[in-house]
Chains A and B, each alone.
Chain A
Amino acid sequence: MTTDTTLVEQIPDLETSGRPKRARQKNLLFLRNSKAITGLAILGFFAVLAIVGPWIAPYDPNQISPDLVQPPSGSHWLGTDHLGRDVLSQLVVGTRSVLVVGFVAGVAATFIGVVVGVTAGFVGGVGDETLSALANVFLVIPQLPLIIIIAGQLPTAGGLTVALVIAATGWAWGARVLRAQTLSLRRRDFIEAARANGERTWRIVLAEILPNLTAIIAAGFVGTVTFAVLSQITLSFIGILPLDTWNWGTVLFWAQNNLALQRGAWWWFVPAGLCIAGLGMALTLINFGIDEFVNPRLRSTGMHARSLRRRKIRPRVGFTPVVHEAQEDRA
Chain B
Amino acid sequence: MKFLTRRLAFYVVTAWAAVTINFLIPRMMPGDPVTALMGRMQGRIDSSAENSIRVLFGLDQDTNVWQQYVEYWRLLFQGDLGLSFTFFPTPVADIVRQSLPWTVGLVGIATIIAFVLGTGLGMAIGWRRGTWADALLPITTFFSAVPYFWLGLIAITVFSVTLGWFPSSGSYDRGLIPGWSWEFVGSVIYYGFLPALTVVLASVAGWILGMRNMMVTVSSEDYVTVAHAKGLPGRKVMFGYAARNAILPQISSFALSLGFIVGGTLIMEMVFSYQGIGYTLYQAVSTQDYPLMQGCFLVITLSVLAANIVADFVYAALDPRTRQEA
Contacts and interface: CB of A to CB of B under 8 A. Distances in A.
Q: Which of B142, B153, B157, B300 has the most CB of A within 10 A?
A: B153
Interface string A129-153: 0000100110111111110111011
A153 B40 CA distance: 10
B285 A281 contact: no
Q: Which of A238, A277, A317 has the most CB of B within 10 A?
A: A317
B297 A149 contact: yes
Interface string B284-305: 1110101001101100110011
A304 interface: yes
A270 interface: yes
B220 A318 contact: yes
Interface string B117-161: 000000000011111101101000110111101100110110001
Contacts of B13: 133, 137
A12 interface: no
Contacts of A273: 146-147, 150, 153-154
Interface string A60-84: 0000000000000000000000000
A256 B297 contact: no
Contact of B264 (A141, A144, A240): A144
Contacts of A276: 145-147, 150
A320 interface: yes
Contacts of A308: 130
Nearest to B135: A305
Interface string A287-331: 010010001011011011100100001010111110000000000
Nearest to A249: B147
A281 B142 contact: yes
A154 B259 CA distance: 23
Contacts of A139: 256, 259
A302 to B, nearest CB: 10
A92 B33 CA distance: 36
Contacts of A264: 157, 161-162
A230 interface: yes
Interface stretch (B21-29, B88-96, B180-188): B21-29
B282 interface: yes
Contacts of A304: 130, 134
A269 B216 contact: no
Given A266-B157, A297-B216, A140 B224 contact: no
B270 A238 contact: yes
Interface string B266-289: 110011000000000110111010
Contacts of A321: 130
A140 B137 CA distance: 28
Contacts of A150: 25
A288 B205 CA distance: 14
Contact of B141 (A142, A143, A234, A284): A284
B204 interface: no
A144 B301 contact: no
A142 B304 contact: yes
B213 interface: yes
A226 B144 CA distance: 11
Given A142-B263, A264-B162, A297 B153 contact: no
Contacts of A140: 11, 14, 256, 259, 304-305, 308
Given A152-B293, A269-B153, A318-B228, A136 B147 contact: no
B304 A315 contact: no
A285 B10 CA distance: 35
A141 B304 contact: yes
A262 B128 CA distance: 43
B221 A318 contact: yes
B18 interface: yes
B219 interface: yes
Contacts of A173: 256
Q: Which 8 A-B pairs have the closest CB atoms?
A: A144-B263, A280-B145, A315-B130, A142-B259, A273-B150, A277-B146, A281-B145, A152-B285
9 contacts: A238-B267, A252-B150, A261-B161, A269-B150, A277-B142, A301-B216, A317-B238, A318-B224, A319-B220
Interface of A: 133, 136-137, 139-146, 148-150, 152-155, 173, 226, 230, 233-234, 237-240, 252, 255-256, 261-262, 264, 266, 269-270, 272-273, 276-281, 283-285, 288, 291, 295, 297-298, 300-301, 303-305, 308, 313, 315, 317-321
